[in-house]
Structure 1
Amino acid sequence: MPPAENRIKLMKLNIIVDERALAVDVPPHMLREAEDFYRKMDSDMDHGWQMGPEFIENPDKEQRCQIAANKLLTSLSTANETMITLMAGYILKQLPGITGVRIDTAGEMLHTELLYEKSANAAPATASAPAASRAQKLGKLEAMEQAGKDVTKVYKVGKSHRFAVRDLKTGEWLESGPMETEQEAYEKRMQAYKRRLDELTGSSG
C-alpha cells in the first residue's frame, strides 16, 4: 500500500475565513466511520436550526452545510482537528463537486458562501446576457461596489493562488483554477472584475 496511493484518495475542502485560507484533507475511511455521527447531525437539524437571526424550520442541503461550516469555524478557534475534519467531510459528502467554503464570521450563517470549481478565469460568459438577476443597469459607482462583491480578493490555498466569481444566473461562487504566482492571480482577478463591471453597466467592454 504505497503512501502516494493514500494521498491520491484524500478529499480536500478549502476553507476561507476572512482573508486566511487553509485546506482540510479528509480521508475516505473517515466518511465511512462517521456515518452514525452524520446521521445524528442530520437528525438534530431535522428539528430546525437557528441560523443567525433566522430560525430555519427545515434546513435544505446547502443550509446544512452552512451550519456545518459554522461548527467548523468554532472547531478552528479551539484547534479541534478531529471536528474540523468531520465537518469538512460532512460538507464534501453532502455537496459533490464543492471545493471550498467562505465562512461568515459575523454570526450570519446564511451568508457563508459555497465554492465550486468551474472556470472563474473566464468569468461566467453565460452571464453576458444582461445580468439575468438584475433588470436594470447600474451606475458606475454602484456597479464598482457590486463588482467588488461579486469577485473576491485573491486568496492563497496551499502554494497556489485563487479567486472566485459569483455566477449572476445561479448565485453560485465559481472558483478559479490554481495559479502559481500572486501576480498572475491578481491580473486574472482584475480581468474578471472588469468583465463583471461591464456586465453591470451594460458596457461592451
Structure 2
Amino acid sequence: MILNVVIDDQLLELNVPEAFMEQAHDFFAKMDADMDQGWQVDREWIEKPDTMLRAQIAANKLFTALENEDHKLGRLMAGYIVSRIPNVESVELNPAGETRDHRINIEQAATDDAPPSSAEIAHPGIPQGLNKMQAMAQAAKDVSKVFKVGKQYRFSVYNHAKDSWEDSPAIADKAQAEAMREHAFKARFDALCG
C-alpha cells in the first residue's frame, strides 16, 4: 500500500508492502500495549488515547523519522498508521504544530456513520463551514503573531476544545518562525472553511 504524506505542500509516497505489515505486526501490538498505559501528548497526559490520536502520535514519530532520514522507523510508523486506519487517504504533517496538529485524512465513506472530518480531528472544537472572509478573520484570532521568548521565537494557536492557547515549539530563527506560523495559519484557515 502507498501512504501519501504531505509536508509543506510536498507530497511523499511511502510504500508500505503487505509483507512488511505482517512482519511488523508484533511491533504494532507492542506500540498499542505501550499506549494502553497512557501517553504524554505534548504537555498533556492522555489516559486512553483513541485510535485517531494513536495515529497522530505515530504521525509525529513519522515526521521525526523523515527529518532524521531514519527510513526504518519511518516505514514502521507509516505501517502503523495504515494498519490502524485502513481507510487513510493521506497524512498531513505540520512541522509547526504539535501532535494533534498532524492531520489524518480519511476516505469519506458513503454512509451516514462516516468518521469525523480531518478538520474535526486535527482542530477539535473549532467553528466549521465558515465562508472565506469569516475563516480568514477567525484564523487571525486563533493564530498569534510571532513573539520573542529569550533568544528564541514562538507563536500560539488557540485550542477551541480546551479553551486555551498552546505555544509552538521554540524556534531559533525569526524567519523560520514566521514561515511555521504561516503554515499553522493556513492549516487553521483550511479547517475553518471545513
- Of residues 31, 50, 55 in structure 1, which corresponds to 2:45? 55
Is 2:63 the partner of 1:73? yes
Deviations 1:14-56 (A, max 9, x none): 1112222201011101111011111111111111111122221
Is 2:92 the partner of 1:102? yes
- 1:37–1:19 CA distance, 2 compared to 1 (3 A): same
Alignment map for 1:80-119 (pairs within 5 Å): 80-118=70-108
User: Displacement, 1:134?
Assistant: 5.2
User: Which residue does 2:134 correspond to in 1?
Assistant: 142
User: Displacement, 1:139?
Assistant: 7.9
Higher relative contact order (CA 8 A, sep 6+): 1
User: Which residue does 2:9 correspond to in 1?
Assistant: 19
Deviations 1:75-104 (A, max 9, x none): 101111111111111101101211211112
Q: What secondary structure is seen at the aligned counterpart in 2 of 1:65? A: helix
Contact (CA 8 Å) 1:53, 1:108: kept in 2 or not?
no
Q: What secondary structure is seen at the aligned counterpart in 1 of 2:133? A: helix
Corresponding letter in the other structure for 1:141? M
- 1:139–1:101 CA distance, 2 compared to 1 (3 A): closer
- 1:31–1:139 CA distance, 2 compared to 1 (3 A): closer
* Inter-partner Cα distance in structure 2 for 1:31 and 1:140: 41
Question: Is there any run of 5+ residues in structure 2 with no aligned partner, and where?
Answer: 110-125, 140-188
User: Which residue does 2:26 correspond to in 1?
Assistant: 36
The higher radius of gyration belongs to 1
* Inter-partner Cα distance in structure 2 for 1:100 and 1:87: 13
* Inter-partner Cα distance in structure 2 for 1:139 and 1:36: 46
TM-score when normalising by structure 2:
0.57
Contact (CA 8 Å) 1:99, 1:115: kept in 2 or not?
yes
Contact (CA 8 Å) 1:12, 1:99: kept in 2 or not?
no
Give the RMSD, CA atoms, in angstroms: 3.1
- Of residues 29, 36, 52 in structure 2, which corresponds to 1:46? 36
User: Which residue does 2:117 correspond to in 1?
Assistant: none
> Comparing 62-71 with 17-26, which one deviates more in the overlay?
17-26
- 1:86–1:138 CA distance, 2 compared to 1 (3 A): closer
* Inter-partner Cα distance in structure 1 for 2:52 and 2:11: 21
User: Which residue does 2:168 correspond to in 1?
Assistant: none
Q: What secondary structure is seen at the aligned counterpart in 1 of 2:4? A: strand
Q: What secondary structure is seen at the aligned counterpart in 1 of 2:32? A: helix
TM-score when normalising by structure 1:
0.54
- 1:142–1:68 CA distance, 2 compared to 1 (3 A): same
- 1:139–1:115 CA distance, 2 compared to 1 (3 A): closer
